[in-house]
A and B are shown apart, each in its own frame.
Chain A
């Protein structure tokens, strides 16, 4: 990957195309989680790679290429959703279910995990965009608070407040305590 990045930085378009091949599934997964729609995710990913192509000369290499790309995807998704919300006031639609391609080890455990994952996916989709973006970038893709705040155009404190609120909502939805279940309706 590092070799490809260096070649791409020196203007090798073929190397950049190979980076696209290696990373586009992951980038699309993030875009899908952030936007909640396959159509929007496709637009976001295309725009993100164009921005990455234009800006690869500025990539310093002190972070992983994938982390740098996630930041661009997050920024593009924020712009895309902001633009879309200005034009249309529709809510995000449900996206296709994600598929686990890892080999199964323990079918029973796998079943429990799959069920938990499905509930979690639904709960993430049901979150408002401002909460969803933060929790996906931090807790799924492990981006630092500072990077998240920068890409979403908010302060670090605001990012943390949103993150904790999002976690709390997810916990209440997916793993409710006794008494919380009846509140959920």
Chain B
């Protein structure tokens, strides 16, 4: 560990900042920059974080081993559960709409019959 710099920071506290700043999550404070300017150990650590971050980003481009059955399994899973969901979900909406329409038709028929009966009575 390096000695604390004039700003009073030691390598331990700068090390936390290096981990945070590595991914651009935050910028360095002036005191941390002062420490980095005078501490070789922390500068080496900073470079290693940079290499680490580059390697992490490259991992995304590395393909996982292909599983030839996976695509078929996903589609089968969708068939099995997706269709059940569709059957449970959408027809329920359709049934509600149908029931509503039937109720409205019934109400219209009842009102019409009631009016006709009232007319005949008068």
Contact = CB atoms under 8 A, between A and B. Distances in A.
Interface in B37-66: 41, 44-45, 48-49, 51-53, 55-66
Contact of A171 (B16, B48, B63, B82): B48
Interface of A is mostly: helix
Instruction: Decide if the interface of chain B is mainly helix, strand, loop or mixed.
Output: helix
Contacts of B59: 33, 98, 117, 120-121, 140
Contacts of A113: 55, 58
Contacts of B22: 167
Contact residues on A (Cβ < 8 Å of other chain), bracket: 35 or more
A74 interface: no
Interface stretch (A42-50, A76-84, A85-93): A42-50
Given A50-B78, A167-B19, A21 B45 contact: no
Given A25-B64, A54-B85, A102-B61, A164 B52 contact: no
A117 B73 contact: no
Nearest to A49: B74
A181 interface: no
A15 to B, nearest CB: 13
Given A98-B62, A113-B58, A117-B59, A21 B71 contact: yes
Interface of A: 13, 16-17, 20-21, 24-25, 28-29, 32-33, 38, 41-42, 45-47, 49-50, 53-54, 96-102, 113, 116-117, 120-121, 135, 138-142, 145, 160, 163-165, 167-168, 170-171, 174-175, 177
